[in-house]
Structure 1
Amino acid sequence: MPEAYLQTLTHQSDVTYPLFNPHTREKIMDIPECSNQQMEEAIEKSKQAFSKMKALSSAERSMILEQTSKFIKENKEEFARIITLESGKPIRLSRSEVERTIETLYFASLEARKLEGESIRMDAATNGGGRDAYTVFQPIGIVGAITPFNFPLNLVAHKVGPALAVGNAIIVKPAEKTPLSAIKLAEAFKKAGLPEDAYQVITGEGPRLGKVLIDHPDVAKLTFTGSPQVGELIKSQAGLKKVTLELGNNSALYIDRSVRGKLGEIAGKAVAGAFAYNGQVCISTQRIYVHEDVSEEFLTHFKRAAESLSYGDPNDETTDLSGVIDGKSQDRIVNWISEAVRDGSELVTGGNKFENGLQPTILKNVPASSKISCQEVFGPVVLVNTVQDADAALAAMNDSQYGLNAGAFTYDLPQAFKLAHELEVGQVLINDVPTLRFDHMPYGGLKSSGYGYEGIKYAMREMVHMKFISMNYTF
């Protein structure tokens, strides 16, 4: 457990809140409810840390990130157990998250050495000759990061890695329900030799502490992953600060009749995409549209695969499903399922609570107006709707307030290109489920799904200022 950093926060805080295991609902420990003053003090410390960070060479920042990645690799089982403890994520998936974090920080170490500007031909403009000109990127200062519960280590790394790679300091306000992974990461950076206070974790109530980050003049950028409602509020209040927002989604998938021979394999991938970590994933496969010629065959494979998933202790190697994050979410998801059935949807399988989780649930031919279709369920629920053709699927997939990821399985090349170009999302995955993210790829949404881009190289560009420099050598 990341006890040393917690003890420091606890020593500074008079108030705590209980942290619970989502699967058992048992108390894990008390977490410091940091005050606004503690956040302000953290910002002041970050100012001092920033002066040290920007003085480091890109090679030095790269080596710190690489050493942090190595430390996590050497202690990956401990990191995985912490993720499972605080999030209820099955241990196999927690190990996968740790492996991704190792790679995320390694990518950041590589990109730290590569961020570079460009030379500009000034003589292309009238009277511009006699000058050498170029651009450079400079760190912006202090980054405030607010992170969600569902990937408590890797989504923190996606904000911290780029921020440190370019020479910024960063303060992370992790989700109240999953602070331990972010705190454990502080230990890794300390071991790697990161300047003191260049990465700080402040625990406690999100809206209150987040408002301090929003309002403080010394915080140059905010990066947030969470709900569209909170994201819109942050953007409306952030003024001239840089902002990156990774928000909601209800990923859609189309399955064409041209892949008839692969329906069993696709069903297996779709089950993983829909039900991994109880569907508590930003790009969870939530809406599946299947060509009418193969819809019944696909649904047979899909139902069988979903019903084979096992619910149990997340520390068990064979567990697929576990308790959802809290009882409030559990009740909401069940209510949404009931609403869809009242709206005329057919319940294919599941639909009920199971201990502190839910049965994997498949609904058929769900109306577009039902919450299960038009909102983000963030639970183990997926709809399967029959469509006449790819054009009908495209219209249904785009009929959403969200636009993060979408996928399609098709062997029809013109159809694949049409879907790739016309789907209104940030990322299109052809012959993959939309629940796919590699940690170096650009990642950002359209519509209510976000503002700005993550993915190491792309996030770095949003955490710097570009400066133009011209040298008049004829003067």
Structure 2
Amino acid sequence: MDVRTFWLAGRPATGASELTVTNPHTGKVVGAYSVPTDAQVEEAVAAAAAVAKEAAALPIHVRAEALAHVSRRLAERAEEIAQLITAENGKPLTWARGEVGRAVSTFRFAAEETRRYSGTAMRLDTEPAAAGRLAYVTRVPYGPVLAITPFNFPLNLVAHKVAPAIAVGAPVIVKPAPATPLSSLLLGEILAETALPAGMFSVLPVENERASALVEDPRLPVVSFTGSGPVGYAIMDSVPRKHVVLELGGNAAAVVLADADLDWAASRVALFSNYQAGQSCIAVQRVIVEEAVAEAFTAKLLDAVGTLVTGDPYDDKTQVGPLVSEAAAERVQEWIDEAVAGGAKVLAGGTREGATAAPTVLAEVPHDAKVWCEEVFGPVLAVQVVPSADAAFAAVNDSKYGLQAGIFTRSLDLAFRANRELEVGGLVIGDVPSYRADQMPYGGVKESGVGREGVGSAMEDLTYAKTMVLTGLAL
């Protein structure tokens, strides 16, 4: 078996040890990769620090063309990369192909944003004391970025950290999830084809326990992390003087109000409570239904869940594949069993085979059960019936998380009211909360994180404003 190299300051490298990657569906080894030594990690960090000034001064056309090249090459190799994502992550090919397509767009958006990334001028002579003065405001990268990425989108969530960093001229070190490093290593291969200077990027597949040294290294002033809340906040607490960006997930709610199109709502909730095997920060975990339509909606929901195809992720017809590991599926099953022991009723699913958890629908779930109040990160949906829109909005907000929500309604008044009242970072009207456009601001409030992804928003997050005032001008 070929052993994939990692990327050290823009060049391929091998370490002293190797690790393997297994497919969650088959349990078979699908790849191996070399692991950097401590000395090689130090070399990568030193190179990022050394190139930081050169990176910040790179002409816009160099950054933009590098990003455009990555977008083109991802498109050219799309099927190969989708197969790789399915191999290491287990997600069905239909979702893997969608992820590659989104990564193509993410790098294209970044190339476009880079070409628009210029300073702004501001006349200051609005007051007599500032006559002849003009402010020129630019944005400057804080410095090298440590990007810690999760397993559930092993290409596109890496893209959402790498592309904005390159766009603003910041070196980036990627620390991918140990379960799914192969996609990011392939991305490193494509980045190495560009004219970016040595040291501009590294992809270091180190074990999680070695990440703390990178987090604490003062030469990496920015830490961008996507993953679980406890880990994210532990990172923030450990480096209070660093600029930390966190995307931490949630327990996304879809609200079905009495005026909703029930067929559409049921089909969308069924699919997007189970897509990626529920391993998405914005997969539908809670569906809150107005009492007047609860019986009809629940029947349609169960019919829709029953039509989902679960099985081999390499089959084009498969919609629901395995979780990332059998251990993850075991945890999901434990949470279901805990809810049932507390009084919840299983309307569908509730079983597990290996790493695959059956699409599960629960009713009458206690609100202190983990499947309701925590992030289940599995194909589990809890149904709550409420008497009114008031109660529905209160139920959405009754969570420590606040990433995104979806509202099924035809009422423009209710849509704008939801936008005013719901404590979330994003709201989707007429659909599930599981929608994300890669150019839009994306992130949450409360314990769902700090900062925003989305190419333009992330570029803002990785930089600070710098103001130069010109004087003595005849404006």
Q: TM-score, normalised by structure 2?
A: 0.95
In the alignment, which residue of structure 2 is the partner of 1:222? 223
Q: How many residue pairs align between the two structures?
A: 472
**Structure-2 separation of matches of 1:183 and 1:341:** 42
**Structure-1 separation of matches of 2:2 and 2:98:** 20
**Structure-2 separation of matches of 1:142 and 1:7:** 16
Q: Which amino acid aligns with 1:337?
A: I
Name which of 113, 116, 124 aligns with 1:114.
Answer: 116
Q: Which amino acid aligns with 2:264?
A: E
Change (3 A) 1:238 1:388: same
Q: Which amino acid aligns with 1:227?
A: S
Local SS of the residue matching 1:257: coil
Question: 1:6 Cα shift?
Answer: 4.0
Name which of 49, 54, 57 aligns with 1:55.
Answer: 57
**Structure-1 separation of matches of 2:2 and 2:429:** 41
**Structure-2 separation of matches of 1:349 and 1:272:** 14
Provide, for residues 324-367 of structure 1, a one-character-per-residue CA deviation record: whole Å limited to 9, x for no partner: 11122111111111111121111101000024201100001212
Aligned alpha-carbon RMSD (Å): 1.9
In the alignment, which residue of structure 2 is the partner of 1:470? 469
**Structure-2 separation of matches of 1:373 and 1:79:** 35
Local SS of the residue matching 2:147: strand
In the alignment, which residue of structure 2 is the partner of 1:283? 282
Aligned pairs (5 A) from 1:75-224: 75-125=77-127, 127-209=129-211, 211-224=212-225
Paired-residue identity, %: 39
Q: Which amino acid aligns with 1:347?
A: V
Question: 1:7 Cα shift?
Answer: 9.1
Aligned pairs (5 A) from 1:278-317: 278-317=277-316
Contact persistence 1:274–1:380 (CA under 8 A): yes
Name which of 17, 25, 30 aligns with 2:27.
Answer: 25
Q: Which amino acid aligns with 2:201?
A: Y
**Structure-2 separation of matches of 1:72 and 1:2:** 21
**Structure-2 separation of matches of 1:166 and 1:57:** 10
In the alignment, which residue of structure 1 is the partner of 2:5? 5
Question: 1:196 Cα shift?
Answer: 2.8
Question: 1:46 Cα shift?
Answer: 1.5
Contact persistence 1:24–1:323 (CA under 8 A): no
Local SS of the residue matching 2:469: strand
Provide, for residues 153-177 of structure 1, a one-character-per-residue CA deviation record: whole Å limited to 9, x for no partner: 0000000000000111100000000
| 1:36 is aligned to 2:35 | no
| 1:251 is aligned to 2:233 | no
**Structure-2 separation of matches of 1:264 and 1:388:** 20
Moved more, 459-468 or 145-154: 459-468
In the alignment, which residue of structure 1 is the partner of 2:381? 382
Local SS of the residue matching 2:186: helix
| 1:371 is aligned to 2:370 | yes
**Structure-1 separation of matches of 2:216 and 2:169:** 22
**Structure-2 separation of matches of 1:393 and 1:120:** 45
Contact persistence 2:141–2:170 (CA under 8 A): yes
Question: 1:213 Cα shift?
Answer: 2.2
Moved more, 16-25 or 351-360: 16-25
Q: Which amino acid aligns with 1:31?
A: Y
Contact persistence 1:32–1:204 (CA under 8 A): no
Question: 1:474 Cα shift?
Answer: 6.9
Contact persistence 1:278–1:380 (CA under 8 A): yes
**Structure-1 separation of matches of 2:271 and 2:435:** 10
Local SS of the residue matching 1:124: coil
Q: Which runs of 5+ in 1 are unaligned?
A: none
